Chains A and B, each alone.
Chain A
Amino acid sequence: MTSISRRTLLAAGAGAGLLTACGSNTGRGGGGDGGGSGPKLSQWYHQYGETGTEQAVQRYAAAYKKAHVSVQWRPGNYDQQTAAALLTGSGPDVFEVNGPTLDQIQGGQVVDLTELLDGVRDDFNPAVLTPKTYDGKIWGIPQVIDMQLLYYRKSLLKDAGVEPPTTLDALVDAARKLTSSKVKGLFLGNDGGAGVLGGTPLYGAGLSLVTEDGKVGFDDPAAARTLGKLHRLYADKSLLLGAPTDWSDPSALLQGLTAMQWSGLWALPQVQKELGDDFGVLPFPKDGSAGRPSVPVGAYGAAVSARSRHPEAAKEYVKWLWVERTDHQEDFALSYGFHIPARISLAEKAAKLKSGPAADAVRLSTEHGYAQPLLWTPAGQSAYQDALSRIIKSGASADRELRAVVRKVSAELDRVKKKS
């Protein structure tokens, strides 16, 4: 939905492979139910697109002996469906979620999972574990890490005499130079970037969405200056808009509609397959003297519904799948799509992540990765996204727009703090 969150990020990314998945049926066909005895558990995933993912999660579930796990694969708007289902007793026991959100935690909709990570907590990437931690307790077990980054076609940049941009000004400049009547310079999604970029430019300016002590992180003139530059991209007509596929799908880059595209790590295998060596990856460039490059990272977490009839069995299953069975975790991260395992020890071992652009990407995520803070609520997020859209597309005054957002986000922060 409106959130910049990992869930939508993955949901979108999933598309890349979805229809390819339709063509082949690998793994054990269709069997939705696990083979175990014991209580019945229902587990929800959003629809991943990568070939074989659904069969893989079915296989994991079937291998679990202590409960009878049935997997549900949900198409459509996953947030909305889980949100509605969590209000009732007929929802999932175990479900993946981009979060859980602060309201879900405060509303008592999910179960405390802290004990599941006893002894291995340090092995989980802190960048993605932190947003799943509230009140010192852990509410979701990270499954895999995803990230977004800037892809560019080396040959097109070379032809136009443009260096890979390392500052926002250089990016604006490069996008303009790369734009011709046939090819656009940059693709940030069909909405011009308001949706996918989110807080990334703010982190690029050395700011943040919410500070560590829970204050608005962009109440600063630098924020307006940086966001204002994004309008330049739009006004220069350097942005690709209205492509049939969105930013999450590398098609626009591969079909030659754009020279640079912001997309997800999941697109990398496909880009590599089609473009060979003719591409590189970059972080979102820094802006201003306090700036630093930034890349968004995040992780879907496995959570247990508080309305589950078998919360203990559900917790045990989550521990088995996402903590103990490192073989499944590695398989899930790297055999179908392209994700970074959430456990540091696994990520370090993975051969696929050790060379080429994949290694660059992993390096970017550790050096420049930021995750959306837990305190960044959907209401604040949607106000920010509206403002960003107006700044980019309508050239609205970034100063004035941001002042309104700061007010709104402060009110939200007050609200959620009051509840704790």
Chain B
Amino acid sequence: MSRRNALWFWVFVGPFALGLALFTYVPLVWSVALSFFDAHNTVTPTHFVGLDNYTAMLKDDAFVDSLKTFLVFTAFIVPATYVFSLSLALMVNRLKRARAFFRSVFFLPAACSYVVAALIWKMSLFNGVRFGLANTVLGWFGGDPVAWLSTTDPPWYWLVIVTVRLWLQAGFYMILFLAGLQRIDPVLYEAAAVDGARPGWTVLRHITLPQLRATSVAVVLLLVINAFQAFDEFYNLLSDARGYPPYARPPLVYLYYTALGQGQNLGLGSAGAVILALVIAVVTVGQARWLKLGRTDADG
């Protein structure tokens, strides 16, 4: 019986696992191998350098800076997206009419590619001259045009990055939360009302949030992975023909320029990628542990 099950297991899982092995694991192992070699402009290097690429990467201020920047960015964008999409879900969920309409409007941006979104933000919404929409609005109030993406003091580019990210992603997470909210047993709310709990904050804190914990764990994990792997919108907003400015530079963008551009230092790039993957793994696992711990506390 168990042998037959094993056979069936592989009939179902085998094709997928095989493809994943070939198209993900082979390149992955290959990359990790490259990270121990001096691999300038080659994927079949011969000069073994041990951990040199790793030490070089960890000593590289630009790379370490980008890791730090993205720890901070993650610490900000994760709660921000979380709160924003949860608020959207709560508001939409309470609607009696036009619910599908609002849900569609907030979800629609998820259909946009990062390339298109970056185009709108960079060329039209937040361009630095007088015919950008943001600057037009500023102009109505007598303000001077702001070069949103080029100004480092104050760092307005974060406003551009955060708004485009929220616009693109909030709707998707809102859907996840909406689904979670649908599953909460209405009896819980009725009981709370009987106990005299005022709708609003108390109910949110003592019923809604605990009931949404499973959804929250998933959302936070996806958000964390997403934040560290940020690439597309940053690249499309801030890079130009000559490269990428030394601020708001995600680790992946930095590695991209190191390993995939004219600078084809594949060993160094791979070492950086491994370091990044480790950081992501540590943060994600830590997060999962912490959130799950929270659950046992609440349940106990």
- Interface centre among B145, B243, B265, by most chain A C-beta atoms within 10 angstroms, is B243
Check B208 for interface membership: any CB of A closer than 8 A.
no
Chain A residues with Cβ under 8 A from B145's Cβ? 242
Confirm or deny: A195 has a beta carbon within 8 angstroms of a beta carbon on chain B.
yes
**A246→B129 CA distance, assembly (Å):** 12
When C-beta atoms are compared, the residue in chain A nearest to B261 turns out to be: A1
The B interface is mostly helix, strand or loop, or mixed, namely loop
Cβ B62 vs Cβ A383 within 8 A: yes
Bound-state Cα–Cα, A84 to B258, Å: 13
> Counting CB contacts under 8 A, is B87 at the interface?
no
- Would A87 and B42 count as touching, CB distance under 8 A? yes
A-side interface residues, number (CB < 8 Å) = 56
Residue of B nearest to A13 (CB): B241
Asked whether B263 lies within 8 Å of A2 as measured between CB atoms, the reply is yes
Q: Which of B61, B62, B129, B240 contacts A189 (CB 8 A)?
A: B240
**Is A192's CB within 8 Å of the partner chain B?**
yes
> Closest A-chain residue to B263, C-beta based?
A378
Please tell me if B264 contacts chain A, counting CB pairs below 8 Å: yes
Chain B neighbourhood of A84, CB < 8 A? 260
Which residue of A has the minimal Cβ distance to B47? A419
Interface set, chain A 7-38, CB cutoff 8 A to B: 7-9, 11-12
Give the interface segment out of B89-97, B150-158, B163-171, B274-282: B150-158
Q: Are A195 and B241 in contact (CB under 8 A)?
A: yes
Q: What interface size band does chain B fall in? A: 35 or more
Whether A191 and B245, one on each chain, are in contact in the complex, defined by CB atoms closer than 8 angstroms, is: yes
CB proximity of B204 to chain A, nearest CB, Å: 41
Partner of A244, one of B41, B129, B146, B148: B129
Q: How far is the CA of A143 from the CA of B132 in the complex (A)?
A: 39
Which residue on A lies nearest to B152, using beta carbons? A393
A242–B128 touching, CB < 8 Å? yes
Q: Is the CB of A191 within 8 A of B240?
A: yes
| Set of chain A residues within 8 Å of B62, measured between Cβ atoms | 382-383, 386
Q: Report the separation of the CA atoms of residues A106 and B47 in the bound assembly, to the nearest whole angstrom.
A: 14
| B126 nearest in chain A by CB position | A242
The total number of A-B Cβ pairs within 8 Å is: 133
Q: With an 8 A cutoff between CB atoms, is A389 at the interface?
A: yes
Residues of A close to B19: CB separation below 8 A: none
Whether B242 lies near A196 (C-beta < 8 A) is yes
Given A190-B150, A192-B150: A243 and B265 interface contact (C-beta under 8 Å): no
Residue contact A190 to B41, C-beta cutoff 8 Å: no
Which residue from B40, B144, B147, B257 sits with its C-beta under 8 Å from A103?
B40
When distances are taken between beta carbons in the complex, the residues of chain B under 8 Å from A377 are: 263
Indicate if the CB atoms of B257 and A242 lie closer than 8 Å: no
- Is B85 engaged at the interface, CB distance under 8 Å to the other chain? no
Does residue A394 face the partner (Cβ distance < 8 Å to B)? Answer: yes
Partner pick for A379 among B243, B245, B263, CB 8 A cutoff: B263
In angstroms, Cα B241 to Cα A195, docked, is 8
* Interface flag for A3 (CB, 8 Å): yes
Query: Is B149 in contact with chain A by the CB < 8 A criterion?
Result: yes
A2 & B243 in contact (Cβ 8 Å cutoff): yes
Chain B residues closer than 8 Å to A99, beta-carbon distance:
262
A390 to B261, CA, bound (A): 22
> Is A86 an interface residue, CB under 8 A from the partner?
yes
Cβ of B123 within 8 Å of any chain A Cβ, yes or no, is yes
Contact flag A390-B246 (CB < 8 Å), given A106-B40, A107-B41, A190-B149: yes
Q: Please give, as numbers and ranges, the residues of chain B lying within 8 Å of A11 by CB-CB distance.
A: 241
- Which residues from 47 to 75 on chain B have a C-beta closer than 8 Å to any C-beta of chain A? 61-62
Nearest CB on A from B234, distance (A): 14
In the complex, A182 Cα to B145 Cα: how many Å? 10
Mark interface residues in B91-133 (1 if CB within 8 Å of A CB, else 0): 0000000000000000000000000000000010011111010
Closest Cβ of chain A: how far from B159's Cβ, in Å? 13
* In the bound complex, CA of A28 to CA of B136 (Å): 45
Q: Report the Cα distance A386→B254, complex, angstroms.
A: 11
State A257–B129 Cα separation when bound (angstroms).
8
* Nearest CB in chain B to that of A2: its residue: B243
Cβ-defined contact, A194 with B241, below 8 A: no
Tell me if A181 counts as interface (CB < 8 A to partner B): yes
* A238 CB–B CB distance under 8 Å: no
A7 to B146, CA, bound (A): 31
- A156–chain B nearest beta-carbon distance, Å: 17
B242 touches A8 (CB 8 A): yes
A359 an interface residue at 8 Å Cβ cutoff? no
**Set of chain B residues within 8 Å of A382, measured between Cβ atoms:** 62, 243, 257-258, 263
**Cross-chain contact of B151 among A3, A194, A241, A404 (Cβ < 8 A):** A241
User: Contact flags (1/0) for B247-290 with A, using CB distance below 8 Å?
Assistant: 10000000001101111110000000000000000000000000
Q: Which of B42, B146, B152 contacts A394 (CB 8 A)?
A: B152
Bound-complex Cα distance A417 to B232 (A) = 36
State A190–B244 Cα separation when bound (angstroms). 11
Are B40 and A378 in contact, CB atoms less than 8 angstroms apart? no
Asked if A243 and B41 make an inter-chain contact with CB atoms under 8 angstroms apart, the answer reads no
For this complex, 19 residue pairs linking A to B, each with C-beta atoms less than 8 Å apart, are: A1-B257, A1-B261, A2-B262, A3-B242, A3-B243, A83-B261, A103-B40, A103-B41, A104-B41, A107-B41, A190-B240, A191-B242, A241-B151, A242-B129, A242-B148, A379-B265, A386-B62, A386-B246, A393-B152
Q: A103-B40, A104-B41 are in contact. List 4 more A-B contacts (CB 8 A).
A: A12-B241, A109-B41, A382-B243, A389-B246
Mark B residues whose CB is within 8 Å of A: 40-43, 61-62, 123, 126-130, 132, 144-153, 240-247, 257-258, 260-265
Which 6 pairs of residues, A with B, have the shortest CB-CB distance? Answer: A242-B128, A195-B242, A378-B263, A1-B261, A241-B147, A242-B147
